[in-house]
């Protein structure tokens, strides 16, 4: 802050003050000279792009387009990936538009993604359930879930989606 020689300012977004300032700057007439340049009056501003993007996301300014995916397959952990892939493949061969998480996100992030994309159903693939031939089927609209047999998924979705 010592390099400023005049007015200094900071910009925050009132509704999102917890994020901190999104821009700041001021007058620094001696800064260029300090670093070996000639005496030059100067004024500047810097923008916190990461913070601005965070606010824009919170305000839904990027809006994800609605997906035509009907079923999102959400593996709980990396060791459930192969089973999740098989489920997605089975559903796709039956003409049921399906998507599987490929980013290794936590289940809460996967559910947020499916909700934002307006995907109506999520199949949660967890170790304990799979050991018993089951998965959790979550209806994102009704916010209800139940355990179902993996082998019955195509039949269930054919009746739900027709």
Which residues span the domain enclosing 94? 71-160
The per-residue pLDDT for 63 is: 74
29 assigned to some structural domain: yes
Is residue 15 situated within a structural domain?
Answer: yes
Does 104 lie in the same domain as 49?
no
Cβ–Cβ contacts within 10 Å for residue 76, how many?
Answer: 18
Is there a contact between 24 and 11 (Cβ–Cβ < 8 Å)?
Answer: yes
Residues 53 and 80 in one domain: no
Please state the pTM of the whole predicted model.
Answer: 0.62
CATH number at residue 117: 3.40.50.800
- Over residues 82-139, the pLDDT tens digits come to 999 999 999 999 999 999 999 999 999 999 999 988 999 999 999 999 999 999 999 9
Say if residue 64's pLDDT is above 80.
no
The tokens for 50 are 């990461």
Are 105 and 44 in the same domain? no
Residue 116 and residue 76 share a domain? yes
Q: How confident is the model at residue 153 (pLDDT cuts 50, 70, 90)?
A: very high
């Amino acid at each position: 802050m010592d390099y400023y020689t005049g007015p200094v300012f900071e910009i925050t977004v009132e509704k999102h003050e917890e994020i901190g300032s999104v821009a700041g700057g001021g007058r620094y007439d001696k800064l260029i000279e300090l670093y070996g340049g000639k005496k030059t009056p100067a004024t500047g501003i810097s923008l916190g792009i990461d913070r601005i993007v965070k606010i824009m996301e919170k305000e839904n300014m990027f809006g994800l387009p609605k997906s035509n995916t009907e079923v999102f397959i959400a593996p709980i952990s990396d060791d459930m990936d192969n089973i999740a892939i098989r489920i997605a493949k089975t559903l796709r061969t039956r003409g049921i538009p399906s998507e599987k998480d490929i980013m290794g996100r936590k289940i809460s992030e996967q559910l947020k993604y499916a909700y934002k994309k307006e995907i109506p159903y999520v199949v949660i693939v967890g170790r304990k359930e799979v050991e018993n031939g089951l998965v959790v089927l979550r209806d994102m609209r009704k916010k209800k879930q139940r355990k179902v047999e993996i082998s019955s998924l195509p039949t269930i979705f054919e009746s739900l989606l027709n």
